Amino acid sequence: MPSDALTLCHECDLLQRNPPLPPGGSAQCVRCGCRLHKHRPDSLNRTLALALAGIVLFAIANSFPFLSFQMQGQTTQTTLFTGVQDLTEQGKGEVAAVVFFTSILAPGLQLALLLAVLLPLRLGGRLPPGYPTLFRWFKTLVPWGMMDVFMIGILVSVVKLTDMATIVPGPALFSFVVLIFVLAAAQAALDPDIVWARVPLPPALRRRPDPSQPVLGCDVCELVVPVQQASRDRRGHVRCPRCNDRLHRRKPRSLQRTWALVIAALVLYIPANLYPVMSVTSLGRTQSDTIFSGVVFLLNHDMWPLAAIVFVASIFVPLLKLLILMFLLVSVQTGSRWRPRDRTRLYRITEAIGRWSMVDIYVVTILVALVRLGNLASIQAEAGAVFFCAVVILTMLAAMTFDPRLIWDALERDRERDRGRDRGRETARDTGVRPGVVADAGRIEPTGASA
């Protein structure tokens, strides 16, 4: 499916031509190395088949027993939703809401939205009302579906309970594991261009924009829109003519919002690591565990790979992410020109790793659901879990709020000064939108080639 003629890189704001791609090839930004487009053969049929399989697996994973806990003749069975219920009953409704959204609701909505978007394309009928909005919601939900992280939480939980009781997997667990791979494969097989190419555009936008015109790029559908042809809503906000997402040259108040989220996460990071995340009662004895004591437990049981995963995901990653974001914020505010391409890579790291910090929250959820035998054995979520959950969510939101294009603005200002301010540059400065400098998109790489 052909892509748009031009694209604005969403990480460095360079306007580039989209080259024709060979099967399995990809186009990269010539300036920052961001992948702009990837050719996915037979994308529609493959993604639709995987989405249909995912719906069936999702129904099984949420309808049958997930895990069973057997101790001294007593058995506790759980479903995926059991942990959410128990956390709510223990007064940890904030954590329960996050777990429910990231492990059940978001993956389910992704599958439902995929079917709603792809079935009209496959059947060749008329697109339903609000069609672009459905696909926009799908893209918004992708970072929040964390079934793969939940699976790591299951492994850690089983190790923690090995000495206490017997854990028996249920049919829902096997469906859940397969569903993780099916949903990941569906996301990898999906080519957004096959969706956006079917959404009708005004005749004026079907022509390639004049390179001298100031343009805006849509963050969702990647349409390059000349400012004069962008639509406005009742509040005067500029909207994308294709997906109706709000257009802006830079994310509004990106620095202020990111600083606020980073500072809040830093403040909560301290009690998240000092307070216990759960307390374990076994045969009348109660022991409280912090995140770090959980790592020590895994090491004492010679489970060093899992201990390393928990330490990196729950202690090292949140702190690293906060430090990277603070470095990027300071570098932008001081107008640094230092290695913008490398700073953009750092930003990509913060986006990719933040979700894995949810491992400990899922561990608490699974243990709370499994161990419910009164004084014989029970597990209670503690205040540390609430603080740590807040840290994970705040750091993810901070990465989403930061605009990586700000890294390149100082470089653009230098280049404009060197070239002098002609009439087009004066117009760009006055309107807040710069004319596009068109470049050829980056290398065309075969699948699996390094960026």
pLDDT digits (tens, 9 = 90+) for 322-348: 999 999 999 999 988 889 999 999 999
Largest CA distance in the chain: 83
pLDDT confidence of residue 279: 83
pLDDT on residue 182: 95
- CA–CA distance, 71 with 194 (Å, rounded to integer): 53
Nearest to 97 by CA among 89, 107, 88, 109: 88
pLDDT for the residue numbered 212: 64
What's residue 354's pLDDT? 82
Average pLDDT, integer, range 133-153:
91
Higher pLDDT, 64 or 75: 64
User: pLDDT above 70 covers what percent of the chain?
Assistant: 87
Q: What is the pLDDT of residue 284?
A: 64
Phi-psi region of 130 (alpha: psi -120 to 50; beta: other; left: phi over 0): left
Residue 200 pLDDT exceeds 60: yes
Q: What pLDDT shows up at residue 432? A: 46
Q: Is the pLDDT of residue 435 over 50?
A: no
Residue 209 in contact with residue 17, Cβ under 8 Å? no
Least confident among 23-27, 214-218, 229-233: 229-233
Task: Give the pLDDT mean for 187-198.
Answer: 88
Model pLDDT, residue 444: 34
Give mean pLDDT, residues 305-324.
86
pTM value? 0.85
| 330 Cβ contact list (under 8 Å, min separation 6) | none
User: Average pLDDT in the 196-212 region?
Assistant: 70
Residue 445: the pLDDT is 34
Higher pLDDT, 361 or 436: 361
pLDDT on residue 77: 84
| Least confidently predicted of 233-242, 325-334, 399-408, 414-423 | 414-423
CB 151 within 8 Å of CB 180: yes
- Mean pLDDT value across residues 384-388: 92
d(C-alpha 342, C-alpha 391), whole Å: 26
Contacts of 321 (CB under 8 A, 6+ apart): 350, 353, 354, 395, 398, 399
pLDDT attached to residue 267: 95
Q: Which residue has the higher pLDDT, 377 or 324?
A: 324
Reply yes or no on whether the pLDDT at 374 is more than 70. Answer: no
* pLDDT score at 421: 53
Q: State the pLDDT at residue 342.
A: 92
Position 160 scores a pLDDT of 77
pLDDT of residue 124: 78
Q: What is the per-residue pLDDT across 227-259, written as a single tens digit (0 to 9) for each?
A: 777 777 777 778 888 888 888 888 889 999 999
Write out the two tokens for 342: 């490398």
3-class DSSP string for the chain: CCCCCEEECCCCCCEEECCCCCCCCEEECCCCCCEEEECCCCHHHHHHHHHHHHHHHHHHHHHCCCEEEEECCEEEEECCCHHHHHHHHCCCHHHHHHHHHHHHHHHHHHHHHHHHHHHHHHHCCCCCCCHHHHHHHHHHHHHHCCHHHHHHHHHHHHHHHCCCCEEEECHHHHHHHHHHHHHHHHHHHCCHHHHHCCCCCCHHHHCCCCCCCEEEECCCCCCEEEHHHCEECCCCCEECCCCCCECCCCCCCHHHHHHHHHHHHHHHHHHHHHCCCEEEEECCEEEEECHHHHHHHHHHCCCHHHHHHHHHHHHHHHHHHHHHHHHHHHHHHCCCCCCHHHHHHHHHHHHHHHHHHHHHHHHHHHHHHHCECCCCEEEEECHHHHHHHHHHHHHHHHHHHCCCCHHHHHHHHHHHHHHCCCHHHHHHHHHCCCECCCEECCCEECCCCCC
Could you tell me the strand order of the sheet in which 444-445 lies?
Answer: 35-38, 26-28, 444-445
pLDDT reported for residue 204: 61
94: how many CB neighbours lie within 10 A of its CB? Answer: 15
The average pLDDT across 197-210 equals 70
C-alpha span between 5 and 320 (Å, rounded): 38
pLDDT higher for 68 or 301?
A: 68
124 φ/ψ sector (left φ>0, alpha ψ -120 to 50, else beta)? left
pLDDT of residue 3: 57
User: Binning pLDDT at 50, 70 and 90, where does residue 411 land?
Assistant: confident
Domain ranges of the chain: 40-199+243-419
398 contacts 267 by C-beta, under 8 angstroms: no
The CA distance from 52 to 182, in Å, is 10
The pLDDT > 90 percentage for the chain reads 33
Instruction: Determine the residue type at 33.
Output: G
Please tell me the predicted confidence (pLDDT) of residue 181: 95
Strands 439-440 and 15-17: parallel
